[in-house]
Structure 1
Amino acid sequence: MEVTTLSFDNLHNHGTLFANLLRARHRTFIDGAGWDLPQADGMEFDQYDTPASRWVAVHERGQVLAGVRLTPTTHRCGIYTYMIRDAQLGLLPSIPRDLLHFPAPVAANVWESSRVFVSDTVPAANRMRVQMQLISEMVISARILGATTLLGIIPENSWRLARRVGLDCVSAGPVMDTGGASSVCVTISMQTKLH
């Protein structure tokens, strides 16, 4: 199993990994969860997949097992900034505006974590190992990018897993329905050490 952080600067070094990541997102969020998201050629993408973002992929023999996107909260592309802030500003009607207990930050040390998934093809016996690889690389990449805090939307009970592995993960908003699942915004401190 390998873990790779992709950027527009290094995509050419990793063959079809980025396309396979977008295909895995399609299977997870469009085929699996039934979300109405932009898609082309079996790949899911949106306005936040820009050169400013980074993508962490856990993969094995060309198959993407898990992934997450990291986006700086300081980035702007047209009218869009980052998903949580844009939802709060009313630009994303499918996400409640009151998803955070405070105004969405715009700061160089705060990055958004979004499109987090573990493929349903990962056997139950390997899920924890895959999740740990994803979390570990996400933290390493975020720290390298200068993040001291990540802000993200995760399934309601997932923050307990993050805390169990040593992440300082705190609920930052109310529980909300995100396409048939209960989710919550969280802040994750990059200052703590992983177990």
Structure 2
Amino acid sequence: MQTTTLSFANMHNHGELFANMLRARRELFIVHNKWNLPEAMGMEYDQYDTPASRWVVVHDETGKVLAGNRLTPTTHNCGIYSYMIRDAQRGLLETIPADLLYDTAPTQAHIWESSRLFVAHDTPAAIRRRVHAQLIAQLGDTVRSLGASHCLTLLAATWPRWADRVGVKMRAMGPVLVIDGVENQVVEMDFSGPRH
């Protein structure tokens, strides 16, 4: 099992890994979860997959994607869009309620958004916990390498059950909301401390 952080500057060094990650996102979010999202050539994408973002991917030696995540700076803007949580709060996204945060969405260099966090639905149960932990560990390493210390993410509200297992301090940043029949909550992940 390997972990790679992709960017527009380095994705050419990793063959099909970026496309495979977008294919895995399509398989989970569009095919399995039945979300209505943009897709092309068997890949899921949206307006936040820009050169400003980074993608953390857990994969095997053949490039099969086991898990992934997208990181976007909270200071980024592209046309009317900034980052998913802020844009939802601003009423720009129909599928995510605008009241997802207690306070105004931050736009600070030390905070990035973590979105499209997933473990592929066909990742074997025997390794899912390890894959998830490796994804979160690399997420923290990547955030710190970008000069940041925190991430905002919209997660299933079950996050308190596994936060300690992956060694990351987390705190709720908004109320529990039901989105597509699942309880979700915006959470801040604190990567300012040493890696566990």
Give the TM interval when normalised to the shorter protein.
over 0.9
Greater shift, 31-40 or 164-173, is seen at: 164-173
Matched, 1:177 2:156: no
* SS in structure 2 of the partner of residue 133 of structure 1: helix
TM-score (norm 1): 0.97
Aligned equivalents of 1:149, 1:65: Cα separation in 2: 24
Aligned equivalents of 1:84, 1:152: Cα separation in 2: 8
Matched, 1:72 2:103: no
Matched, 1:14 2:14: yes
Q: Which residue does the alignment assign to 2:30?
A: 30
Aligned equivalents of 1:170, 1:190: Cα separation in 2: 12
Q: Which residue does the alignment assign to 2:138?
A: 137
Q: Which residue does the alignment assign to 2:57?
A: 57
Aligned equivalents of 1:118, 1:153: Cα separation in 2: 15
Shift of 1:181: 1.6
Structure 1, unaligned stretches of length 5 or more? none
Shift of 1:194: 4.0
Shift of 1:20: 0.3
Shift of 1:147: 1.2
Greater shift, 57-66 or 163-172, is seen at: 163-172
Aligned equivalents of 1:41, 1:177: Cα separation in 2: 31
Q: Deviations over 1:18-60 (max 9, x none)?
A: 0000000001111111111110011000000000000000001
Q: Which residue does the alignment assign to 2:40?
A: 40
* SS in structure 1 of the partner of residue 163 of structure 2: helix
Displaced runs of 4 or more, over 6 A = none
Identity %: 55
Q: Which residue does the alignment assign to 2:91?
A: 90
Q: Which residue does the alignment assign to 1:124?
A: 125
RMSD in angstroms over aligned alpha carbons?
Answer: 1.0
* SS in structure 1 of the partner of residue 153 of structure 2: strand
Shift of 1:93: 1.4
Q: Which residue does the alignment assign to 2:147?
A: 146
Question: What letter is aligned with 2:24?
Answer: A
TM-score (norm 2): 0.97
Greater shift, 140-149 or 47-56, is seen at: 140-149
Aligned equivalents of 2:166, 2:135: Cα separation in 1: 12
Aligned equivalents of 2:42, 2:155: Cα separation in 1: 24
Aligned equivalents of 2:194, 2:179: Cα separation in 1: 30
Alignment length, in residue pairs? 195
Question: What letter is aligned with 1:151?
Answer: L
